[in-house]
Structure 1
Amino acid sequence: MRGIDAPSHLWGGPARRNADTLPSMNRLLAVLAMTVAMGASAEEAGGLTWSAPAEWAAQPPRPMRAATYKVPAAKGDPEDAELAVFYFGQGQGGAVDANVKRWVAQFQKPDGKPLEDKDAKTKQEKVNGLPVTTVEVKGTYAGGGPMMGPSAPKPNFKLRGAIVEGPEGAIFYKLTGPEKTVNGAEKGFRKMVESVKPAAKK
C-alpha cells in the first residue's frame, strides 16, 4: 500500500516533476523579493513610464485610473494621502488649463467660499523632454469631482498635481491628503515626476 507521498500525478504531472519545479519556483520568489527590495515599482500608461516611491503602497485597480498609491499619513494626521494616476487616451481628458481649474475648484477657503485661480501655484517645465504643468493648492477639500459623488468637506487638505503631456495623450498625477502628509511626500512626488519618461519601444 502506498503512503501519502505516493501519488504519481499531482498538478497534472508526475510527482517527481512537481519536485523538479521547486528550484524554478524558488528562483521566481527570489526575483520577486529582489524587485520589492529595489524600492520602486515602475508603471506605464499612455506611452510613458514612471517610478513611485517604495513607501507608497500600490492599490488594487480602480475604474478610470492607471494606478493608485496610498501615501502613509504623517504623525498626527487623521488619514493617509492618495496619489491617483489618470490616463483617458489620446486627445481625451480635456485641456491642461481646464483640468487645473477643475482641481482648484475642488477646494474652498475656510469660510466656505471657492478658491480662485490665483490661490493656486502652477508651474510649466520640461521633464525628460516632456511638457509638464505642476499644481499646488490647499484649503478645505470639497470632493474629487462630479464622477466621484458628494463627500464631506475636509479642512487643512492639500493637492499636489502634475499633468504630463505625452505622445499618446496627457497623464494626470493627483496627490491629495492632509496638508502635513502631502508636504512630507513632496520629495517623493518630485522624484516620481522627474522619473516620467517615454516608454521603450517594444
Structure 2
Amino acid sequence: MKRLLTALALLCLTSGLRAEDTKISAGNLNFTLPASGWTSVPTSSPMRAATLQITVEGAEKPLEAIFYYFGAGQGGDTQANINRWLGQFESPPESKTEELDANGTKVSLVTATGTYMDGAMFGPKTAKADYTLLGAIIPGPDAPVFIKLTGPKDAVAKITEDFKKLSTSPFAK
C-alpha cells in the first residue's frame, strides 16, 4: 500500500511539473511545446529569448530551437531574416519558404538544407554537411519572434511537423 501511495504521489508530482513545462513565452507570445521530447532549458546568451532542447530518436545529441526577440521595431523584416539564414550555408542551400496560416496570422517558415556553417556570428565556423535549418518568423504585438533550429537533415525531418505546430501555437484556438 505504501508503495502504491508513493507511486501515485510521484505520478501526480511529475504530471504537475510536465503541465507547467508545456508553455514558454517570448516577445509577449505564449508557445505550446509539442507533446514529448521538447524541453525548455536556460538560455546561454542574452540575445536569446528562450531555448528548447529536442530529443530525437537516432540523433547523436539533442537539437536546439532558439527563440529570438529583439524588442519593438527591432529584428528586421521577414525577407532580410530569410536571406540572413540562407547566407549561413556554404553555398546556396536547397530551400523553400512557406506561409503557415495560424488562424488568420501569417507565420513564415523557412526550410533550408545543405552545408551549414555553424558558429558564432563573428567567430570561426565549422562546416556541417547535410544539415537542415528550420526558421520561423512569428508576428508579435510589437515585433516578430524568430525561432531557429538546425541539425542533421534526417533528425530535423522527424520533428518538422512539431516545429510547425510550435510556431503557430500562439494563435491556436
Does residue 89 in structure 1 map to residue 67 in structure 2? Answer: no
Q: Contact 1:78 / 1:178 at 8 angstroms: preserved in 2?
A: no
Q: 1:104 aligned to 2:74? A: no
Paired amino acid for 1:42: K
State, as a whole percentage, how many aligned pairs show the same letter.
35
Q: Report Cα offsets for 1:24-43 as digits up to 9, x if no partner.
A: xxxxx887532334495211
2-side partners of 1:71 and 1:30: how far apart? 23
| Aligned residue number for residue 175 of structure 1 | 149
Residue 55 to residue 36, structure 1, CA distance change in 2 (3 Å): farther
What's the CA shift string for 1:59-82, capped at 9, x where partnerless?
A: 21232111111122441x443321
Helix, strand or coil at the partner of 2:126 = coil
How far, CA to CA, are the matches of 1:128 and 1:60 in structure 2? 30
> After alignment, is 165-174 or 125-134 more displaced?
125-134
Which residue pairs with 2:43 in the alignment? 61
Q: TM-score, normalised by structure 1?
A: 0.71
| C-alpha distance after superposition, 1:15-57 (max 9, x if no partner) | xxxxxxxxxxxxxx88753233449521112221111223112
| Aligned-residue offset at 1:181 | 0.7
Distance (Å, rounded) in 2 between the aligned partners of 1:48 and 1:59: 18
Aligned length: 161
| Paired residues for 1:148-159 under 5 Å | 149-159=123-133
Tell me, what secondary structure is at the counterpart of 2:162?
helix
Change (3 A) 1:37 1:150: same
Contact 1:45/1:87 (8 A) holds in 2: yes
- The 5-angstrom pairing of residues 110-125 of structure 1 reads 114-115=91-92, 119-125=94-100
Q: Counterpart in 1 of 2:6?
A: none
The answer on whether the counterparts of 2:21 and 2:40 sit within 8 Å (CA) in structure 1 is no
Query: Deviations along 1:81-129, whole A, 9 cap, x unmatched?
Result: 2111110011101111000000001112xxxxx206xx32001233133
Q: State which drifts further: 65-74 or 85-94.
A: 65-74
Aligned to 1:12: none
Q: Does structure 1 residue 129 correspond to structure 2 residue 104?
A: yes
Q: Which amino acid in 2 is paired with 1:183?
A: A
CA distance in 1, matches of 2:171, 2:38: 20
Alignment RMSD (CA, Å): 2.4
Rounded Cα–Cα distance in structure 2 between residues aligned with 1:140 and 1:152: 10
Verify the 8 A CA contact 1:138 1:179 in the aligned structure 2. yes
- Write the letter of the residue equivalent to 1:178: P
| Structure 2 gap segments, 5+ residues each | 1-9
Matches of 1:132 and 1:144, distance apart in 2: 26
Pairwise mapping of residues 11-26 of structure 1 onto structure 2 (< 5 A)?
A: none
Letter matched to residue 166 of structure 2: M
